[in-house]
Amino acid sequence: MWRSIAESLSVPIEGDRVQSTGSGDKMAESVAKAVDCEREIDKLTFTMLKLQEEIMKRIDSMENYNHSIILSEYYVHGMSLNKISAEWGRSVRHLKRVKSEAIASFGEKFGDKY
């Protein structure tokens, strides 16, 4: 809605011109700023998605399957250790250890990138 307002705003050319200080149309300025912010958010979102895809590929390429799976489930899919524990049938304490090992392994292999 705001985008269509910002893109359709026009200033009438007819009539007397009155000199004023400051902006004549604060709403148009606010909408334009909002559109600019939306564009910046779109750019950042695209960058984030590319980085996330790269990280997922690197996680998938890890040699230890359990390390790959726990990093993917925890960091990519946002699963809690409690939920992973229930699915794997392992204790949370065990999964914390595996996750720590996986992070160390990821760091050794890709630490120069992240």
For the segment 35-55, what is each residue's pLDDT rounded down to a tens digit?
999 999 999 999 999 998 999
pLDDT above 80: residue 21: no
Q: Which CATH number fits domain 61-114: 1.10.8, 1.10.10, 1.10.275, 1.10.1330?
A: 1.10.10
Q: In angstroms, rounded to a whole number, what is the distance separating the alpha carbons of residues 80 and 84?
A: 6
For the segment 69-94, what is each residue's pLDDT rounded down to a tens digit?
999 999 999 999 999 999 999 999 99
pLDDT of residue 6: 53
- Contact between 10 and 24 (Cβ < 8 Å): no
Q: What angle do CA 81, 86, 91 make, to 5 degrees?
A: 65
Give the pLDDT mean for 21-29.
Answer: 73
